[in-house]
Amino acid sequence: MNGSKGLARDAVASIARHLATIIAGFITVPIIVRMLGASRLGFWSLLGTAAFLLGLCDLGLNTATLRAAAGSDTSYAKQVARLAALMTTVLAVPAVAACVWWLFEASRQLPVDQRSDARTAVLIGLAGGVVGAASQSARSYAQGQGRIVALAWARAGAVALQLVVTVSLLLAGLGLSAVALGFASGALVEAILGFRAARDGVRAQGLLPRGDNRRELVRIAGSAMLTNLSVIFAVRADVLVLERITNLATIGAYSVAARLVDQGFTLVKQVSAALVPRLGKRAKNRGSSIRLGTMIIGIMAAGPLAAVAMSGRPILILWAGEPVDLPILGVALTWLSLAAMAAAVYEIPLSAITLGGDAWAAARFIALGSITNVTLSIVGGYAFGPWAVAASTFAGNLVLALLTWRSSIRTLRWDAQTVALTFLPILVSIPVAAVTAWACDRASLNGILSTAAGCLAAISVGAVLVFRLRPSASEVLA
């Protein structure tokens, strides 16, 4: 019973940790748009991308830290964590220099009187990015040790401080530097609390592990680096390409659509955390767990996203403000929603391949999806414009879904009927959501009501089908 309570507590804490980030974005984005305009929101998207890319400087060692911390040798885990922090700090120096040059050039798109503030924000924001990246190894260690609640409080404290600092300084008349100071202060607080959560009295000798651990470390970090590189560029390549082909206001509107879709899907997929122990090699009925997880994630994400794609634009304008009401907004929302639908389909089987199959195979699939995304973003963006950048995200996720399911079907030896029954609730919920939202729009209901009606219809119909087609509880829990 205590174990069940602990699992439930950690699951709630994990969801709350992500929810805190969503709340921060929900509050700050409309404030930035209304006080600074769409162009400066677009520039902040570029700066946020640069700070996010600094996470690549760990060379996959943070994932290795997480895996080692979940094991029995805490001294070895501490060694890997220290190595990750050192590697990130050293490599961040040239990375920051490159980002400063790029962002200073991009600031030329802003009016002359806003450039100095934007460049100050670059220096502050990148400093916060380095703090966050270098301290990630401590949080990975704490997560592997099971200190999920402490990390959730750390994120909550960081978000609260970020909001207070950002809003206060914006009201005091600062521009983008106010947003950057809020971000940096939040990163510093989360770093301090993360180190506190990782403190356990264990001391590691040296930086490099000894013996056979070195070969294992290289293997794990290498596959993690490939995966991280692929995922980050798949997610952030859009902004990098858009910076070369369009203006900052368009980037700002695009980022608003991307944030709504991405954060909504990220919150929904936290449900899959409960299935992680049942997706590994030791699970007796991995196939049943994959079926049930795919059905649940599918109807909770794909169906509602179809409603969002159909009638969600007015919600974005109501939330972020009139400055983002640009032609790209609705187009980006549609394509990015389709991309998230594809991600909902492959989320569970890809996790199963990673946890209970071949991690390198999963990394290759992710890399191929990312290559498809980036290639089409560049070619399509220059040839057809910003809408093609959003469409390329869907194409990349579709490739990843096809590769994942082809491998999974072969491994699980599913027949055509099993595959069809797994996808049936999702394939039904998507048109139900779209048609319901469209009918409500035709009935002159506002976007919020139309989207809500489509989401409710999709989840209701999908839930009935999942209940009828689901594997038995004994199969999933075995």
Q: What are the 10-residue block averages of pLDDT along the chain, 478 residues in total?
A: 52 69 81 87 88 84 77 77 89 93 92 92 94 90 80 87 91 90 93 86 61 67 70 71 88 88 80 58 68 87 89 87 88 93 89 70 84 90 91 93 92 88 92 92 82 91 85 48
Say yes or no: 155 and 255 in one domain: no
For residue 188, the tally of other CB atoms under 10 A from its CB is: 17
Spatial neighbors of 478 by CB under 8 A, at least 6 apart, are 283, 284, 285, 288
Q: What letter does residue 472 receive in the DSSP assignment?
A: P
* Cα separation, 388 vs 337, whole angstroms: 14
| Cα angle for residues 16, 17, 19 (degrees, 5° grid) | 60
Q: Does one domain contain both 295 and 165?
A: no
Q: Domain containing 3: what range?
A: 1-201
Q: With CA atoms as reference, report the closest residue to 179 among 360, 277, 357, 33.
A: 33
Dihedral of the alpha carbons of 454, 457, 461, 463, in degrees to the nearest 10: 90
Radius of gyration of the chain (CA): 22
Residue in the structure block whose two tokens are 């609640």: 149
Pick the last residue of a domain from 148, 176, 201. 201
pLDDT of residue 277: 53
Specify whether the CB–CB gap between 369 and 405 falls below 8 A: no
Same domain? For 353 and 250 the reply is yes
Q: Is 47 a domain residue?
A: yes
Residue at 237 is within a domain: no
pLDDT value for 208: 64
**62 within domain boundaries:** yes
Q: Do 165 and 258 have their domain in common?
A: no
Alpha helices (runs of H) in 37-147, residue ranges in sequence order: 38-53, 61-69, 74-106, 112-134, 136-144
> Both 344 and 457 in a single domain?
yes
The answer to whether the beta carbons of residues 463 and 320 sit under 8 Å apart is no
Burial 418-435 (b: 16+ CB within 10 A, else e): eeebbbbbbbbbbebbbb
Given 176, 201, 226, the domain boundary residue is: 201
User: Is the same domain home to 351 and 291?
Assistant: yes
Would you state the pLDDT for residue 129? Answer: 93
Whether the CB-CB separation of 293 and 355 falls below 8 Å is answered with: no
Give domain status of residue 434, yes or no.
yes
The verdict on 197 and 249 lying in the same domain is no
Residues 476 and 409 in one domain: yes
Residue 234, domain member (yes or no): no
Distances (CA, A) of 60 to 339, 371, 389: 26, 19, 27
Task: Indicate if 181 and 264 belong to the same structural domain.
Answer: no
Q: Note whether residue 228 is domain-resident.
A: no
The answer to whether residues 374 and 459 belong to one domain is: yes
Q: Are residues 339 and 190 in the same domain?
A: no
**pLDDT value of residue 231:** 66
Q: Are residues 174 and 264 in the same domain?
A: no
Q: How many domains does the chain have?
A: 2
**Is 239 a domain residue?**
no
